[in-house]
Structure 1
Amino acid sequence: MLRAVAGSSAAVLGALAVALFLLLLTLARDAALPARNRYGLVFDAGSTHTSLYIYRWPAGKENGTGIVSQVEACSVQGPGISSYADNPAGAGASLKPCLDKAMEVVPAEQQQETPTYLGATAGMRLLREQNSSKAEQVLAEVAKAIGQYPVDFRGARILTGNEEGSFGWVTVNYLLETLIKWSFTGTWSHPPAEDVVGALDLGGASAQITFLPGTPLSDSSTRALLRLYGTNYSIYTHSYLCYGLQQALKMLLASLPQGNSSSPQISHPCYPRGYQENTTTAELYDSPCVQAPSTASPAESLTVTGTGDPAACSAAIEDLFNFSCGANQSCGFNGVYQPPVRGAFFAFSGLYHSLHLLNLTGGQPLSVVNATVRQLCNSSWQEVQEKFPTASSRQRRDACAASSYTLALLLHGYSFDRSSWPHIHFVQQVANADVGWTLGYMLNLTNMIPSEAPQRVVGLQRSSWVAATVLLTIILILTFCLLTAVCCQKGSSGYERL
């Protein structure tokens, strides 16, 4: 009898070992399987150019954080889509090379489920103000072009300035994981509000400032209310139309006095000494941000000559802003309400590029930045060419004006000073993703940032949990049988001894 019980116990133990082996094998197999990825495409149709961003994330983890990665960025050849106002079909055609590239990146079997968006910014906002029907035609043509590809196209639209600022803020804080953070205990936690950073964006036609203020906002038009991961955010955001870099430099050139001779001359204090170019009044006043005088003749030729005068350059740029505020009101410029800047800021797009050319994006003190820009603005055209041999002619010409405008916008427009300057971080990427509004836009439209915080992290695939549950049930049954057999063995042995 003892031998029989021992045999049954051995059988149970053997079955138990097999069950454990099958459990480990199932979990190991699922762990080894590559996670299925999902993709998203977003066109950033800016005022001067268009870019396509291709994003990827693990399927089934849309409500996580820090899991979306940028696979690739494709720069569309040619100007921004607003430049195709008189040739709308050209705007759509310009997107096709980047769409072809995306079809090479996204697996064919997943293309039809890939959400695809096009967001247009200040260039199209200006075109809509000038001619709304032309703006609609351009949007219709780009939508038609994207619709020819096997993707889940969800529309082309013009973003408001506040949307552009808010989505840029979401992007940078999502990538930095300052909205929510995962701990190794399998729970989510909210970092303190002090960790949330502000966003400073400078495009070609508009400039955005967005941050979490320290006090309640007194102007509702500058407030955006967001609920992300179970936390409410009341952020300050404002977009200054026409104060993007390219439009600001157009306003600057048009504001400079013209000579009274038969061949008008413009002395440009921000252009290098010895630089000269010819333009026409038609080109000078071809923007809705620049008001042409009634006496201007479109065909009139103008000669622009650089004088390389740092003080005059700064003064001319500051004249583009109205720094006066109403009584007892805190404002940025042009009378727009703005609370005092607070906390750390990430500055990107034109703000980064204008200072990166001068190697000034490494956290240099404001005194060093000012001295470097002043030295550049005092340079001759030949010196500038030698200093930036790989830059384009336009970049060299505008290097002083762009960096001077960046400083004027930050220091005088937004009221940063020597104490807050070190808190500005000039970046192009965070976590290997380009910083801008596109990622925040996609996260919002795909509902990948939930309003409520995730309660836990699911670490195994559904198949793994099913297999584990079944096999653990078998193990418990076998263990029960083994314990029953052992108890019976002990009872029998005790009886025989009696």
Structure 2
Amino acid sequence: MPPPSVVDSWLAARRFGVVIDAGSSGSRLQVYSWRDARAVRLGQDVNALNTLPKVEKGTRDGEQWSLKVEPGEWSLIRQEEQLLYALRSRLIAGLSSFAHNLEGIGSYLAPLLEHARTHIPPSLQSETPVFLLATAGMRLLSPLQQAEVLQATCHFLRFHSNFRIDDQSPAGPCGSSVRIITGEEEGLFGWIAVNYLMDGFTGSEDDRLTYGFLDMGGASTQIAFEPSKVERDKAQNLLDVRLRLLDGNDIRHQVFVTTWLGYGTNQARERYVGQVINSYEEDRISSSTEEHVLDPCLPKNLALTEFPVQPESSSPHSKKPHALVGTGSFEQCLRQTLPLLNKDAPCPDTHCLFNGVYVPPIDFAASNFIGVSEYWYSTEQIFDLGGPYDVVQYERAASEFCSRDWADIWKEHEESRQQGRLGGDGEVEEDGQIVGTGKWGLDVEIARLQMQCFKAAWIVNVLHEGIGLPRIVDPGGNSTTGGDKVAEQAKTKGLGRPTFQSMDSVGDIAISWTLGKMVLEASREVPAASLSSRPIVDPIDDIPDIANSPVQPIRPPLLDFDAIEDQISHHLPPSLTRHSLGFSPVAFMFYIFVVVLIAGVTYRLRHRIRSTLRRFISKRDRGYLAEGYSMEEGQALNGGSSSSPPWSPSSSRTSLQFLPSRLSSTFGLRSSRPPAINVNGHASFRPGQHSPVRVFSFPLQNGAVTPDILNGTATSFVPGSPRLHDGSIMSKGSFSSLSSRSRNSSNMNLSSLIPRQTISRTNSGMHIPVGSLFREE
């Protein structure tokens, strides 16, 4: 469909922003919009401006504001490309899959870029920022691969769209527009999104209560929250989150955020499988050949063949695939997954939650948490318990599900698929009416049903044994901390008690870290109320001492010698690897190449370098040249000036005022024609005729030209000429000494150029006005 017209009232003073979430399983584009703060300020009450800009969907028609690149959704590309993409995306659809196929990045991102161009007016695209922020998949690549993928992505976005993209900076080839974000940044952006949707940023600073944010994926889990005022002064590693309200004033929050790598559901399952198989191998009888391992975290009678990831110290038999058979005991699964939290790990600080990671103490009476991603899927899709969390109800539903026979679960799933009208929220709908609950629909896959028992137990352990969420909560809350006010606020949104709740969206806006990024971007564009206000930046760019901060941005280097060597190490003998040599041979060869290159360039420019050094180092030569120039300008060598110009009419000396063409060419001067010479030896000029050149005045002695320094007249001086005891310069009478700086080295006698005439002894000097030799009138 064509983009909206500029005459559309909905577009009045509207701003747009585009975020591409480049995840490990695919890339999703989301278009957001908000009204310009300057237009909102007009006619608004001052109290109404005490809020953040209202960020909403970038389109008004359904779900067109978002697009995810998945197999079968490439309707905008040619049919021959669809099959190739579908084949590739079934293996891995993320941007990181192009680390060895950089040429395919363009066709991969083209539908997303076209979708954004379709829904944003062309007149607004040049001022619309676009962000491609990569997450977990890109973090797993080597630094060299990261740099190559980011460079190719930046090149495609810059040259195939008219959107606003940052210039190159230390953050990346496209600045902050195309980069890899850390898990901590995901947590911070998610924290902003949750509090923005739940009105956590409204009210005065004293009454403002923010929500904590929990996010769990397949590889990691994050927590972000603002400690209480008492703990805030003692807490470590807090990050400043600054936002700007519509009135131009800034609000500031100090947020703690951390990530537990390897504590997502998928990697926790891998560690659990290894633990179960190791225990089985230690306890089984050596003569037994049975490879069936009982697993309480699988539905009853479900058999799966697992390939454990074992450490090197494990026995070879433990590395073989084993068949795990489910016993369906949720209570036993809770006990066996608890050691995976590694709560006995050394804690370097005073307070740690699990795996030795420092977290400030959490006051759950005041800090109310919202969980997204796996917290939502594991409670809503199977148990239909999304929203306010009740641990008793949740554990009862999980226990009933785990104890069911797998054959019954699989049969129910197939019946749901055949009906084709089931939603993913556990409700059965017929003719617009809800006729049943406790079912799952088309969005629920077999893999989700197989892993639901384990994931439910892992969620419970992380919440209660890891983070420390109380299992029994006082319904009334603690009135001294303002918890009732927050509970009442959440109740008005239909979300129930806010101690902990799993959520996916608020209204029609999905909770996503991409929303938090756009809230920050919209806040950045609000004009500041004070000129002294600092610009709004990403929280990770606001860290004063980034070198010592536990949160480090991902900055792929331009050259990663270790990564290059890893790619060619199988072609090198063992004796030439960095482990044997103690240094990187690739880096050594690179520096040798740089040295040879510099030496080669220096050798080719040796003559120019030599002449440059002579010009700027040799002071003696420069002094001689200065004396020569002073002679040419008609100045005395001692720095003084003559009392009267040598061409003055008052001079009693006979002056020769002509410049032969040969002398003019010698000095590189131009002269139209020599003036006529009168009988007295002076040049004559016609009325109204200006002297075409200035001439020198030379006193003649014995028919030769000699300098006259004491009288202030110009001299025929050759740099390096010997001086007499009285300071005069020795001359052999040849006029060639005057033209020694000329390329013409031929000698010329001045007497052959002038008419013979009697020269009296009293006035034996013949003067040539100085200026005629060098300056044109």
Tell me the TM-score normalised to structure 1 length.
0.72
> In structure 1, what is the equivalent of residue 54 of structure 2?
67
Q: Per the alignment, do residues 401 and 31 of structure 1 end up closer, same or farther by CA in structure 2, a change over 3 Å counting?
A: closer
Give the corresponding residue for 2:453: 400
- Residues 242-391 of structure 1 aligned to structure 2 (within 5 Å): 242-257=262-277, 264-279=291-306, 281=307, 284-285=308-309, 291=311, 300-324=320-344, 326=347, 329-338=350-359, 339-342=361-364, 343-357=367-381, 358-385=383-410, 386=412, 387-388=439-440, 390=442, 391=444
**Cα gap change, 1:219/1:191 in structure 2, threshold over 3 Å: closer, same or farther?**
closer
Q: Which moved more, 1:336-345 or 1:445-454?
A: 445-454
Q: Deviations over 1:61-88 (max 9, x none)?
A: 5996251102422222244333444445
The separation in 2 between residues aligned to 1:447 and 1:422, in whole angstroms, is 27
Conserved? CA contact 1:202–1:348, under 8 Å: yes
The one-character-per-residue Cα deviations of 1:19-57 (angstroms, maximum 9, x if unpaired) are xxxxxxxxxxx9978523221111222344432221111
- The structure in which a higher percent of residues are helix is 1
Query: What is the identity, as a one-letter code, of the residue corresponding to 1:41?
Result: V
Asked if 2 retains the 8 angstrom alpha-carbon contact of 1:231 and 1:452, the reply is no
Greater shift after overlay, 151-160 or 54-63? 54-63
**Mapped contact 1:139–1:157 kept (Cα < 8 A):** yes
2:28 to 44, 51, 60: 51
| Cα drift, residue 96 of structure 1 | 2.9
Match of 2:242 in 1: 227
Q: Deviations over 1:69-121 (max 9, x none)?
A: 02422222244333444445555543333333222222233223221112222
- Specify which of 138, 151, 160 is matched with residue 163 of structure 2: 151
Task: Determine which of 186, 194, 202 is the counterpart of 1:172.
Answer: 194
Aligned equivalents of 2:118, 2:196: Cα separation in 1: 27
Contact kept in structure 1, 2:295 and 2:327, CA below 8 Å: yes
Post-superposition CA distance 1:269-309 (Å, at most 9, x none):
21212222335x4xx43xxxx75656659995443333322
Relative distance call for 1:141 and 1:322 in structure 2 (3 A) is: same
Q: What secondary structure is seen at the aligned counterpart in 1 of 2:256? A: strand
Look up the match of 1:27.
Answer: none
Take 1:295 and 1:374, find their aligned partners in 2: how far apart are those partners? Answer: 34
SS of the aligned residue for 1:323 comes to coil
Query: CA offsets, 1:427-460, max 9 Å, x none?
Result: 1112422212212223335653769679xxxxxx
Give, as a single letter, the amino acid of the residue that structure 2 aligns with 1:220: Q
**2-side partners of 1:134 and 1:257: how far apart?**
35
* Deviation (angstroms), 1:326: 4.3
Superposition map of 1:424-463 within 5 A: 424-445=500-521, 447-448=523-524
Please state how far the C-alpha of 1:157 moved relative to its aligned partner: 1.3
Residue in 1 aligned with 2:14? 37
SS of 2:388's partner is coil
C-alpha displacement at 1:262, in angstroms? 6.4
Aligned length: 407
TM-aligned CA distance change 1:383 to 1:98, over 3 Å: farther
Greater mean deviation of Cα atoms: 298-307 or 40-49: 298-307
Of the structure 1 ranges 352-361 and 247-256, higher mean CA displacement relative to structure 2 is found in 247-256
State the distance in 2 between where 1:453 and 1:178 align.
22
Question: SS of the counterpart of 2:342?
Answer: coil
Supply the AA of the counterpart residue of 1:162.
E
Report the structure number with the largest CA radius of gyration. Answer: 2
8 Å Cα contact 2:19-2:133 kept in structure 1: yes
Distance 1:50 1:217, change over 3 A: farther
Cα 1:218–1:335 change in 2 (3 A) is farther
Instruction: Give, in angstroms, the shift of residue 236 of structure 1.
Output: 1.7
**Counterparts of 1:35 and 1:435, CA distance in 2:** 27
Task: Confirm whether residue 103 of structure 1 aligns to residue 117 of structure 2.
Answer: yes
Query: Structure 2 CA distance, aligned partners of 1:33 and 1:87?
Result: 42
TM-fit CA distance, 1:356: 0.9
Structure 2 length-normalised TM: 0.48
User: How far is 1:266 from its partner?
Assistant: 4.2
How far is 1:149 from its partner? 3.0
Confirm or deny that 1:133 pairs with 2:187. Answer: no
> What secondary structure, in the 3-state scheme, does the structure 1 residue paired with 2:126 have?
helix
Aligned mates of 2:183, 2:117 — CA distance in 1: 31
Q: Residues 296, 105 of structure 1: CA spacing in aligned structure 2 closer, same or farther, 3 A cutoff?
A: farther
Deviation at 1:166, TM superposition (A): 1.3
Greater percentage in strand: 1
In structure 1, the gaps of 5 or more residues are 1-29, 181-188, 455-498
Matched letter for residue 329 of structure 1: T
Change in 2 beyond 3 A, CA 1:444/1:327: closer
Shift of 1:371: 0.9
Identity of aligned residues (%): 27
Unaligned runs of 5+ in 2: 1-6, 41-48, 59-64, 71-88, 167-176, 245-249, 282-287, 413-438, 475-496, 531-777
Corresponding residue for 2:727? none
Q: Quick one: structure 1 residues 439 and 93, their matched pair in 2 at CA, closer, same or farther if it must change by over 3 Å?
A: same
Aligned amino acid, residue 65 of structure 1: L
Aligned match for 2:211, one of 197, 206, 211: 197
Structure 1 residue identity aligned to 2:461: A
Q: Which has the higher contact order (CA 8 A, sep 6+)?
A: 1
- 1:133 corresponds to which letter in structure 2? L
The one-letter amino acid of 2:161's match is: Y
> How well do the aligned residues superpose, as a CA RMSD in angstroms?
3.4
How far is the alpha carbon of 1:355 from its aligned partner? Answer: 0.8
Change (3 A) 1:295 1:219: farther
**Greater mean alpha carbon deviation, residues 309-318 or residues 254-263:** 254-263
The alpha carbon displacement at 1:376 in A equals: 1.5
